[in-house]
């Protein structure tokens, strides 16, 4: 056999097998918090497991807000500056207010996938954010109000009158309904605001108060919690379409993996976070069931006013 024949054999083989094997693809994920904090850790675990399973197929580099500032992250995803994003819908509610319904959902992501809510919201993400939801975490972890001084718990209507509380757009109206004045700042600015008495409290989930350094300035937590934490891992839609089948299948597989792992991680962490706050001297004050109900009623009404076309249908799918 001539040298030319030997050269031709690999070319023929590649043609018959559908071409050369696809090269490993690298994607960049921006997280709204550092990967070593309470709501960065689940995303980091997902990235690590994806990279372990995806050798030779797909790898993900994770960066935090130090690389892409939080307010810029949703638009960076939309325009393809980053390929993936891990963060809550509150930071892109100006573009897609319907995503805030995740915060009010009484169902797991698995249930939302089965009843059509996930697909409904994915369609809206594609249309308005040029993104596709892959998976998420946080459901079952509630938000709370924390303060540096005691509220007037005897006043069931305006217990935070005279307080300035740090809020996000999601619970701004709720805090104001309970008497507080609100300011909206990035999480990285909260410690200084507390230390200088620019705010006397803040809204935050049960998890992560110590991670962010706020525990030593926090004296009270108010129960019951309200809303759900809602952090989604999304991919730029154009980038998704450019992935080959193996790469798309890997991310689909990893979405199911996160759906299954999250309840286990949540159960493991819940008791630990309670203990951290208890050991840190945080006193728990129960404001009664109306506290939570007011938060949810106000936010559903606010969302419906902004999106009457979509919110009534989503509310039916997300509440029990």
Query: What are the tens digits of pLDDT across the range 149-190?
Result: 999 999 989 999 999 999 988 899 999 999 999 999 888 899
Label residue 198 exposed, middle or buried (CB < 10 Å: 0-12, 13-18, 19+). middle
- In this model, does residue 194 exceed pLDDT 60? yes
- In this model, does residue 9 exceed pLDDT 60? no
Residue 123 falls in which region: left (phi positive, over 0), alpha (psi -120 to 50) or beta: alpha
pTM: 0.86
Degrees to nearest 5, angle at CA 298 with 307 and 230: 70
The pLDDT, as a whole number, for residue 40 is 95
Q: What is the pLDDT of residues 59-114, one digit of tens each?
A: 999 999 999 999 999 999 999 999 999 999 989 999 999 999 999 999 999 999 99
Give the residue among 176, 148, 171, 173 at the shortest CA–CA distance from 161. Answer: 176
Q: What is the mean pLDDT of residues 267-294?
A: 94
Helix-, strand-, coil-residue percentages of the chain, each rounded to 5: 50, 20, 35
The pLDDT, as a whole number, for residue 3 is 40
- In this model, does residue 302 exceed pLDDT 70? yes
The pLDDT, as a whole number, for residue 22 is 61
Q: What is the mean pLDDT of residues 109-138?
A: 97
Tell me, rounded to whole angstroms, the distance of Cα 146 from its chain centroid: 20
Provide the pLDDT confidence category of residue 280 given band limits of 50, 70 and 90: very high
Contacts of residue 316, Cβ cutoff 8 Å, sequence gap at least 6: none
DSSP string spanning 164-230? EEE--TTTHHHHHHTT-EEE---GGGHHHHHHTTS-SEEEEESS-TTTTT-GGG--EEEEEEES---
């Amino acid at each position: 056999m001539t040298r030319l024949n030997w050269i031709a054999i690999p070319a023929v083989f590649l043609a018959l097998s559908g071409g050369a094997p696809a090269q490993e693809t690298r994607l960049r994920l921006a997280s709204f918090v550092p990967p070593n904090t309470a709501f960065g850790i689940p995303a980091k675990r997902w990235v690590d497991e994806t990279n372990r399973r995806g050798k030779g197929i797909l790898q993900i580099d994770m960066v935090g807000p130090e690389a892409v500032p939080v307010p810029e992250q949703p638009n960076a995803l939309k325009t393809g500056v980053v390929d993936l994003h891990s963060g809550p819908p509150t930071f892109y509610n100006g573009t897609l207010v319907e995503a805030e319904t995740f915060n009010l959902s009484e169902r797991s992501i698995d249930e939302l996938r089965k009843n059509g809510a996930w697909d409904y919201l994915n369609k809206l993400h594609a249309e308005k954010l040029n993104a596709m939801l892959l998976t998420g975490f946080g459901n079952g972890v509630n938000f709370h109000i924390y303060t540096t001084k005691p509220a007037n718990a005897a006043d069931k209507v305006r217990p935070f009158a005279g307080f300035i509380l740090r809020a996000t757009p999601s619970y701004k109206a709720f805090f104001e309904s309970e008497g507080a004045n609100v300011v909206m700042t990035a999480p990285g600015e909260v410690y200084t605001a507390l230390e200088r008495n620019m705010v006397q409290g803040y809204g935050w989930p049960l998890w992560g108060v110590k991670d962010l350094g706020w525990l030593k300035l926090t004296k009270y937590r108010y129960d019951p919690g309200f809303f759900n934490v809602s952090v989604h891992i999304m991919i730029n839609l154009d980038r998704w379409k450019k992935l080959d089948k193996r790469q798309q299948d890997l991310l689909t597989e990893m979405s199911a993996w996160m759906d299954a792992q999250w309840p286990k991680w949540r159960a493991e962490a819940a008791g630990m976070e309670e203990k951290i706050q208890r050991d840190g001297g945080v006193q728990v004050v129960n404001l009664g069931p109306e506290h939570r109900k007011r938060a949810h009623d106000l936010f559903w009404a606010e969302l419906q006013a902004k999106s009457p076309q979509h919110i009534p249908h989503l509310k039916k799918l997300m509440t029990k």
